[in-house]
Amino acid sequence: MELSGAEIVVQCLKDAGVEYVFGYPGGAVLHIYDAIFKQEDVRHILVRHEQGAAHAADGYARATGKPGVVLVTSGPGATNAVTGIATAYMDSIPMVVLTGQVPTPFIGSDAFQEVDTVGITRPCVKHNFLVKDVHDLAETMAKAFYIATSGRPGPVVVDIPKDVTDPNIKIPYSYPKRIKMRSYNPVTKGHPGQIKRAVDVILNAERPVVYAGGGVILDDASKYLIELAKLTNMPVTHTLMGLGAFPASDRQFIGMLGMHGTYEANMSMHEADVLVAVGARFDDRVTGKIEQFCPDATIIHIDIDPSSISKNVRVDIPIVGPVRAVLRDMVKVVEGHKKKPKKDALKAWWARIDGWRAVNCLKYDRNSALIKPQYAVETLHKVTKGDAYVCSDVGQHQMFAAQFYGFDKPRRWINSGGLGTMGFGLPAAMGVKIAHPKAEVALVTGEASIQMCIQELATCKQHDLPVKIMLLNNGYMGMVRQWQEFFYDSRYSHSYVDALPDFVHLAESFGHVGMKIEKPGDLEGAMKEAFGMKDRLVFMDVIVDPAENVYPMIEAGKGHHEMYLPPDSELV
Amino acid sequence: MRHIISILMENEAGALSRVAGLFSARGYNIETLTVAPTEDPSLSRLTLVTRGSDDIIEQIKKQLNKLIDVVKLLDLSEGPHVEREMMLIKVKAEKTGREEAKRMADIFRANIIDVTDVSYVIELTGSSRKLDAFISAIDEANIVEVVRSGPTGIARGAKGLTL
Ligand SMILES: Cc1cc2nc3c(=O)[nH]c(=O)nc-3n(C[C@H](O)[C@H](O)[C@H](O)COP(=O)(O)OP(=O)(O)OC[C@H]3O[C@@H](n4cnc5c(N)ncnc54)[C@H](O)[C@@H]3O)c2cc1C
Ligand SMILES: Cc1ncc(C[n+]2csc(CCOP(=O)(O)OP(=O)(O)O)c2C)c(N)n1
Ligand SMILES: [Mg+2]
């Protein structure tokens, strides 16, 4: 088969099993767009801003586990995509980003729409390539998919100069069947000796806690996480990125941990004698003050990336390997072990945990005349029967969604944790809806965040993506306002979102349905109506209490036992 | 602690900037860096000297290993090894200074590789400490220019850092 560079790009996508590309055209990628025009297997989703393309591909990847694919032009196309690439990088999301580049003879001459894309993206990609010769194109594309999806996943950029895609130069094509790289060999199994040591420690534990993160979701390892927890009766807490890996409705789930984690999760961490960290990276929003982090615990850490281990917190038993394989092996070792978990000690441990639970740290005023954001999220859970894909932006609404939706399945909670990118939500929700057209896809957002990628409402119209938007409109950059209230004596410097658009009309002007909901009593009915409109995007502008804060809260740099609780909580 | 780390990496455009970028992005020290292709032209060998606590050195090595272009890495400081650095130093060599410069070069077993009526270029190879000692042994006023390669090294014994 003889193909041009542009045709090779498209054929490689097909051969890599890609169904959707999220992109935006421009000079440097016109040959590729022409090749896309001439076929129907790879579908192109035209966004309205390259940041949206990257977030949409990212959302698609988070919801499916398949790599998201982005296609943008050189210069501003590439720079616009950078925020989305960095967002995916921080959360280890598999993505392949194809960027156009000026023709090779022009590289380095400050040519029209030239930027050093490889240089700009280097610190926020797993790897990147500049393809200088069409003969390298297929192999490089295949490597990009292999690197993006194996080991610790991440975005890979392939920068393609325009002359490399010249439609008039045809060369023989074949897609590499297997990629082997002498410099890159991700581990596929955990060390059996370390696994055995870890199990010994777990079975001797009196106050164990499982702290499981995004790695469990990325590796589709929920099944084994649940098995291990059930066999050992250990409590499970999740990071923001792990939510859904272990069912929130299970008695053994003690909620999210960290800055806005539950009292029971954080207290358990503080008192634990054994910590089983699984696919989590000891982020500072989780650990708080390192010196006070899990002071009494023997720490076991399962992670595929050796550089995650002992990076922030010294680990006692490291296990380098993929979560799924390691947990599966651990389950086998536990089952075959002559020792059983310490029943009495665990009973006492659970009694303490239940005591912390009774503090009811997620309590909020249920009789408020204003809509409480927590109530809005609970209502969303009720109306969607807890079975929606819930995307979010960044801020208080994100924390309320994380705390109150109660995720029972993995890949249902789609948010930007590591970079915390406002504007992520709407485009990500588009990607999720494309991946799962029959499923309910909800976006929980804030009036500040949604305005950062609001243009994507047009993409939703063009491509028929009826996501349901629940805007928790508090008129503030609530998360910023909360910090200013707590730490800056309520000097609300530039955190008031003045001059808001009329979101109902705005949604309507894009061809969608808009709704404004102001009373608690109207919420459930309105939401049912919105979700009843199966083929329409409905934008619910939910006016919530502007003064509500996210509790519990651990101030940055404090220990797990030093939490702010809701003002009228049951703890003295 | 000072560590000298040897890296075999793919001889690709941009590979070096990945290493350099890693050090600046993560705030690690990098004292010296030398790089050249090996006998296999598809591989480069890079030697760098860095300083940090044990935890930081461990992270540096893990982060370097994580770079896709890095094929193999060896911390030479962890075992017996030899280190050499090369220096070219231009000194004033006029009248009385001429004798003195020649004598110092002889004492340090250095070579004079360029001679003009006013200057010598002296070549000296050895440990970085020996190079330091040579510089301090010479009257500062007579030094015109100093170029150092940065140390490079190799492990002792039969084993090598190869594929
Ligand atoms: C406003 C705001 C508030 C926040 N508050 C909190 C909070 O209260 N609590 C909280 O937890 N977070 C919070 N976060 C998120 C936080 O910033 C981090 O993103 C999050 O804690 C990281 O989660 P994680 O440790 O699960 O790591 P992830 O970023 O999900 O990393 C996954 C880890 O798993 C490893 N891994 C990947 N694939 C595999 C595999 N196949 N096998 C083995 N290991 C693998 C990776 O190497 C990595 O170490 C907040 C974020 C924002 C924006
Ligand atoms: C792109 C970007 N800029 C700034 C921030 C800092 N920031 C974090 S939360 C927040 C406020 C978000 O306000 P809103 O979307 O209304 O959500 P709320 O907290 O009110 O629920 C800001 C400005 C960010 N996370 N991302
Ligand atoms: Mg707001």
CA gap A116, A236 in Å, rounded: 45
CA gap A68, A21 in Å, rounded: 7
| Average pLDDT for A272-289 | 96
Per-residue pLDDT of A510-534, as tens digits, reads 999 999 999 999 999 999 999 999 9
Handedness of CA A506, A509, A513, A515 (dihedral sign): positive
| Average pLDDT for A67-81 | 98
| Average pLDDT for A294-323 | 97
Using the structure block, give the residue that is written with the tokens 């196309």: A77
- Report yes or no on whether pTM surpasses 0.90: yes
DSSP letter at A20?
Answer: E
Residue B121, φ and ψ in degrees, nearest 5: -110, 125
Cβ contact B62:B5 at 8 Å? no
- Residue A364: name the closest of A337, A328, A399 by CA: A399
Nearest-by-CA chain A residue for B62: A307
Is the distance from the beta carbon of residue A51 to the nearest atom of ligand 2 less than 6 Å? no
| Burial class, A161, CB count within 10 angstroms (exposed 0-12 / middle 13-18 / buried 19+) | buried
Whether the pLDDT of residue A570 is over 80: the answer is: no
Nearest-by-CA chain A residue for B13: A130
The confidence band for A48, taking pLDDT boundaries of 50, 70 and 90, is very high
Per-residue pLDDT of B8-35, as tens digits, reads 999 998 999 999 999 999 999 999 999 9
* ipTM for the predicted complex: 0.94
Cβ contact A89:A124 at 8 Å? yes
Q: What is the distance in angstroms between the Cα of A119 and the nearest Cα belonging to chain B?
A: 9
* Residue-level pLDDT at A571: 55
Cβ contact A141:A15 at 8 Å? no
Per-residue pLDDT of A337-350, as tens digits, reads 999 999 999 999 99
In chain B, which residues touch A (CB < 8 A)? 9-10, 13-14, 17-18, 21, 25, 55, 58-59, 62-63, 65-66, 68-71, 163
DSSP letter at A372?
Answer: P
Both tokens of A249, joined, read 């409705």
Residue A50 annotated in active site: yes
CA gap A315, B88 in Å, rounded: 46
Residue A113 annotated in active site: yes
CA gap A70, A60 in Å, rounded: 11
* Residue-level pLDDT at A219: 98
What is the 3-state secondary structure of A229-241?
Answer: HHHHCCCEEECCC
| Average pLDDT for A77-92 | 98
Whether the pLDDT of residue B158 is over 50: the answer is: yes
Ligand found nearest the CA of A473: 3
By residue count, chain A amounts to 572
Other beta carbons less than 10 A from residue A232's beta carbon: 22
DSSP letter at A74?
Answer: S
CA gap A191, A292 in Å, rounded: 30
Task: Write the DSSP assignment of B41-65 as a string of letters.
Answer: TTEEEEEEEEE--HHHHHHHHHHHH
The confidence band for A401, taking pLDDT boundaries of 50, 70 and 90, is very high
Q: What is the distance in angstroms between the Cα of B146 and the nearest Cα belonging to chain A?
A: 32
Both tokens of A207, joined, read 């106050």
Both tokens of A355, joined, read 């005591």
* Beta carbons within 8 Å of B95's beta carbon, 6+ residues apart: none
CA gap A495, A186 in Å, rounded: 44
* Residue-level pLDDT at B159: 83
Whether the pLDDT of residue A560 is over 90: the answer is: no
Is the distance from the beta carbon of residue A393 to the nearest atom of ligand 2 less than 6 Å? yes
- Residue A72: name the closest of A30, A134, A40 by CA: A30
| Average pLDDT for A192-214 | 98
Per-residue pLDDT of A433-450, as tens digits, reads 999 999 999 999 999 999
- Ligand 1: list residues with CB < 6 Å: A 91-92, 152, 213-215, 218-219, 239-242, 256-261, 279-281, 283, 285-286, 303-305, 308, 322-323, 394, 398, 417-418, 420, 479
Whether the pLDDT of residue A572 is over 50: the answer is: no
Is the distance from the beta carbon of residue A474 to the nearest atom of ligand 2 less than 6 Å? yes
User: Is B59 in contact with A306 (Cβ distance < 8 A)?
Assistant: no
Per-residue pLDDT of A228-275, as tens digits, reads 999 999 999 999 999 999 999 999 999 999 999 999 999 999 999 999
